[in-house]
Amino acid sequence: MTDSIRQFFANRKLRDYATAYAFVLPALAIYVFFVVYPFFYTIYLSLTKWDGAKPVKEFVGFLNYEKLFADPRLWSALSHNFIWIILGTVTPVAIGLFLGVLLWRGVRGMVFFRTVYFLPVVLAPVAVGIIWKWMYNPQFGPINSTLRAVGLDVLAKGWLGDPYLALPAIILAGVWGYFGFCFVVIMAGLQNIDMEQIDAALVDGANGAQRLWYIIIPGLRHVLTMITAFTLILGVNVFDIIWITTRGGPGRATHVIATYTYNTAFRESYVGYGSALAIVMGLVSLVLSFIFISIRERGGD
């Protein structure tokens, strides 16, 4: 026995392999136990009916998935994710691009503007939610108070209590907290744009819009795809800011897939059904991330 161990370690190649695995093994063990195993466990739970307390998990096959397709709450939650993805991606990326183009050739006070625009990005989504919950406060919130102060009392309303306004209102808060991120990434991309091309275009008499459309945007292609995909995935997973501001209300007007899943599995204790929702969300996110990573691996060079 000891001979074979000694032989094993005498073999240089095997010893190198053993060292190499030792580098990877600790991370692998934690990852397998706390990410991979729970993922398959979610799939199993999604095939059961369970309240989280009973000793027996009743196996029901695909029943949860059948219910899920007929569940209007799921479709409404997904449609809110969809709105969030569209507005919550286009707006901050557009603002970031706009400010980037205004600033990229160096402006007095450049550092000041960058510092300010990035400031909300360091805040937790929870803090962003709480700040904006106060901004939208119907009674004394700054938005309504300002409207009243300038005599526009009719426009003052309970922003987060209105089923049509609540979602756009939270998206605005999200944009406030996020556009600085897009701005900084786009600024980094702008540094790689060929100035000679711009100068040549100026000599040829190209106007600002033409320079933007024919030189700047194509030059930023990779950066823009990457940041769009990145923002999109955040939109699929959005939870914190919605839970802080409205908890999915009023009614179900701001529920998204993550809040619906959390609510179903942990507050209403439909663990099986909640797991089926989690799998749906996982699939959506998986497909989008897969596209994101393949772009990322291909692009950039």
Partner 1 sequence: MESHVGASYQVTRRPRRPMGFWIAKGAQYSLLILFAVFVLVPFMWVIFTALKSNLEIAQDPLGLPPNWRLENLAQAWNQGKFSRYFINSVIVTVPIVILVVSLSCLAGYGLARLKMPGRMLIFYFFLVGLMVPFTAIMIPLFYILRDIGVLGTYWAMILPQTAISLPFGIFFMRAFFSGLPYDLTDAAKIDGCNDFGVFRRVMLPLAGPAIAALVVFNFMGSWNAFLLPLIYLQSDKLRPIMTGMMFFTTRWGPDYSMSMAGTLIVMAPIMAVYLVFQRQFIQGLTAGAVRG
Q: By C-beta, is 162 or 240 nearer to partner 1?
A: 240
Query: CA-to-CA distance for 95 and 114, rounded, in angstroms?
Result: 13
Shortest approach of partner 1 to residue 296 CB, angstroms? 7
Task: Please report which helix (H) or strand (E) contains residue 7, including its range.
Answer: helix 2-10
Closest to partner 1 by CB, 20 or 90: 20
Rounded-to-integer distance, Cα 208 and Cα 48, Å: 60
For residue 238, the one-letter residue type is V
Q: What is the token pair recorded at 106?
A: 């160096």
- CB of residue 180 to partner 1, shortest distance in Å: 7
User: Which helix H or strand E contains 58, and what residues bound it?
Assistant: strand 58-59
Least distance (Å) from partner 1 to the CB of residue 1?
24
Nearer to partner 1, 65 or 239 (CB): 239
Which tokens sit at 213?
């459309």
Task: Give the residue from 282, 286, 262, 259 showing the smallest Cα distance to 274.
Answer: 262
Q: Which of 183, 253 has the CB closer to partner 1?
A: 183
Q: What is the CA radius of gyration of the chain?
A: 26
Q: How far apart are CA 255 and CA 78, in angstroms?
A: 9
Nearest approach, Cβ of residue 215 and partner 1 (Å) = 19
Q: Which is nearer to partner 1, 21 or 214 (CB)?
A: 21
CA distance 30 to 38: 12
Nearest distance in Å: CB 205, partner 1:
15
Q: How far is the CB of 169 from partner 1 (least distance, A)?
A: 13
| Least distance (Å) between residue 64 CB and partner 1 | 12
Check: CB of residue 180 under 8 Å from CB of residue 97: no
**Residue whose CB is less far from partner 1, 137 or 197:** 137
Strand partners of residue 58: 49
If the CB atoms of residues 125 and 167 are measured against partner 1, the closer one turns out to be 125
Q: What stretch of H or E contains 186?
A: helix 166-190
* HEC secondary structure over 92-127: HHHHHHHHHHHHCCCCCCHHHHHHHHHHHHHCCHHH
> In whole angstroms, how close is the CB of 126 to partner 1 at the nearest point?
5
Cα torsion for 16, 18, 22, 28, to the nearest 10°?
120
Q: Output 1 or 24, the one with its CB closest to partner 1.
A: 24
